[in-house]
Amino acid sequence: MSASSATPGTVYGVGVGPGAPDLLTLRAARIVETADVLAYFAKRGRRGNGRTIVEGLVRPGTEELPLLYPVTTELPVGHPDYERMILGFYEDSAAAVRRLAEAGRSVAVISEGDPFFYGSFMHLWRRLRGVVPVEVVPGVTGMSGCWTRADVPITWGDDILTVLPGTLAEEVLAARLSMTDAAVVMKLGHNLPKVRRAMIAAGLHGRAIYVERGAMAGERVMPLADKTDDDAPYFSMILVPGEGRRI
Amino acid sequence: MSASSATPGTVYGVGVGPGAPDLLTLRAARIVETADVLAYFAKRGRRGNGRTIVEGLVRPGTEELPLLYPVTTELPVGHPDYERMILGFYEDSAAAVRRLAEAGRSVAVISEGDPFFYGSFMHLWRRLRGVVPVEVVPGVTGMSGCWTRADVPITWGDDILTVLPGTLAEEVLAARLSMTDAAVVMKLGHNLPKVRRAMIAAGLHGRAIYVERGAMAGERVMPLADKTDDDAPYFSMILVPGEGRRI
């Protein structure tokens, strides 16, 4: 049978949760265990957090498709070379996954956290839906993993929660932080000094919590006030727990 | 051995996800299967969504502790009778769970979605931490379940996400909606007409999606513009997907 005449396989965007191997859902675990091909995003030369999370579930001999970012933080978002390289990367990745599905193979694309919440899988989903069968499996978000590890409820009663990428401008961060009850600032990395200044401007610095690699190996949790250096990995975030109605 | 001299059992706040039985995490499933006692919140005369989700995992003969709300939507939040009844309810519930833990029994408290995200379990956590061992298991949130079922990524690139309880005042809702890229309005129920007006005021009505009982039996997903009646259950929400950077 030629590849083009096979019943297409399904492409799964599988949320694998915040980091601990037992925080996958039952559905995600079953798909990782049974898919014909396991695809995952990673930085060149690294294995990637997502692939590491599912290590114990992969059948020996499973075909793997590493999708290696040509660039991550070496170039700023918006730089023409970054845009060009990352566009080509997603086009090529979608084409590779599509070819497998069209040949009748099911492909599980590993997504840290939840695929539809700032996930790289969305760039494949956008290109593949309507072309081959695509199914998304929601996962525990990285932020849920972090507030659980920090042992703080994030929202009480009628609290408003604002989720802010640390990449935003300082004045935007400060303005939005000053108008919310609870906040999560993601994508920290080299944005930490700017985010810290915004937290101070919004009067939230004293109740903010810094979480590095929450629910992963090497986890650190501390009051932001105790995080005096500016060295934060991309997988770190700041939480501002809400203080709403406690019954 | 007297109850007071036993090693205390652990109280688990177990996130059981948005509704489908296979969207529990592996850790949550293991705890539900092995805990001595299964506690769950429910409306009087109902079984509760959380308890329904775990039905297939409960060992026959497991002791159960239903925690039955004395009041849900019959009285408005803020009414003195509501405050008094719900306070007594959480005090009594915490005491009942504490007695079991102090007698050496492990107690899994079922929490829909994620326990630390607007979860009733937080009111037990607050009373029990430091008294008996308490452990929280994060879960897939109801909102992740809803945007997955609606088949829309909620945040792209640098999108800001705002989560708003539908209980807020109309002008607060409209103001916050007008300043965000993506939004989730929870706790809809009888607040739907007010939330709809706020969506119109913020210019978001045309791209809002109404999701009723997402990932549960009886699910409905439709553009908010097509939801012309005002009849929404508490377990419904409105999503406004972000439109940020697509590569």
B150-187 pLDDT, tens per residue?
Answer: 999 999 999 999 999 999 999 999 999 999 999 999 99
Confidence category of residue A44, pLDDT binned at 50, 70, 90: confident
The answer to whether B168 faces chain A, any CB pair under 8 Å, is yes
Tell me how many residue pairs between chain A and chain B have CB atoms under 8 A apart.
172
CA distance B228 to chain A (A): 26
Across the interface, whether the CB atoms of A26 and B27 are under 8 A apart is answered no
Whether residue A76 is predicted with pLDDT greater than 80 in this model: the reply is no
Whether residue B5 is predicted with pLDDT greater than 60 in this model: the reply is no
What pLDDT does residue B75 have? 67
Across the interface, whether the CB atoms of B138 and A159 are under 8 A apart is answered no
Q: Kindly give, in sequence order, each residue whose CB lies less than 8 Å from that of residue B67, ignoring residues fewer than 6 positions away.
A: B39, B40, B41, B42, B89, B93, B96
CA distance B27 to chain A (A): 5
| A23 neighbourhood in chain B, CB within 8 Å | 25-27, 138
Q: Are B185 and B237 in contact (CB under 8 A)?
A: yes
The answer to whether B125 faces chain A, any CB pair under 8 Å, is yes
Whether residue B73 is predicted with pLDDT greater than 70 in this model: the reply is no
Whether residue B214 is predicted with pLDDT greater than 90 in this model: the reply is no
Across the interface, whether the CB atoms of B160 and A154 are under 8 A apart is answered no
- Burial tier of A38 (Cβ tally within 10 Å: 0-12, 13-18, 19+): buried
CA distance A120 to chain B (A): 9
What pLDDT does residue B72 have? 67
Residue bearing the bigger pLDDT, B1 or B82: B82
CB nearest to B22's CB, from A25, A148, A245: A25
% residues pLDDT > 90 (chain A): 83
What pLDDT does residue B47 have? 85
CA distance B70 to chain A (A): 14
What pLDDT does residue B185 have? 98
Whether residue A228 is predicted with pLDDT greater than 50 in this model: the reply is yes
Q: What is the pLDDT of residues B145-157, one digit of tens each?
A: 999 999 999 999 9
State the ipTM, two decimals.
0.95
Per-window interface: A 13-52 vs B, CB < 8 A: 15, 17-18, 20-27, 29-30
Q: What is the pLDDT of residues A101-132, one digit of tens each?
A: 999 999 999 999 999 999 999 999 999 999 99
What pLDDT does residue B1 have? 40
Q: Kindly give, in sequence order, each residue whose CB lies less than 8 Å from that of residue B177, ignoring residues fewer than 6 positions away.
A: B162, B164, B183, B198, B199, B201, B202, B204, B240
Give the long-range contacts of residues B229-236, CB within 8 A, separation 24 or more. Answer: B230/B190, B230/B192, B230/B193, B231/B192, B232/B188, B232/B189, B232/B190, B232/B191, B232/B192, B233/B188, B233/B189, B234/B72, B234/B73, B234/B187, B234/B188, B234/B189, B235/B49, B235/B142, B236/B188, B236/B189, B236/B192, B236/B210, B236/B211, B236/B212
Confidence category of residue B4, pLDDT binned at 50, 70, 90: low
Mean pLDDT of chain B: 93
What pLDDT does residue B79 have? 78
Mean pLDDT (whole number) for A183-204: 97
Q: Sort residue B130 into left (φ over 0), alpha (ψ -120 to 50) or beta.
A: left
Mean pLDDT (whole number) for A54-82: 86
Q: Kindly give, in sequence order, each residue whose CB lies less than 8 Å from that of residue A46, ignoring residues fewer than 6 positions away.
A: none
Whether residue A72 is predicted with pLDDT greater than 50 in this model: the reply is yes
Distance of CA B135 to the CA centre of its chain: 18
Across the interface, whether the CB atoms of B123 and A247 are under 8 A apart is answered yes
* Matching residue, tokens 């899994």: B108
Q: What is the pLDDT of residues A130-162, one digit of tens each?
A: 999 999 999 999 999 999 999 999 999 999 999
Whether residue B85 is predicted with pLDDT greater than 60 in this model: the reply is yes
Mean pLDDT (whole number) for B96-122: 97
Whether residue B3 is predicted with pLDDT greater than 50 in this model: the reply is no
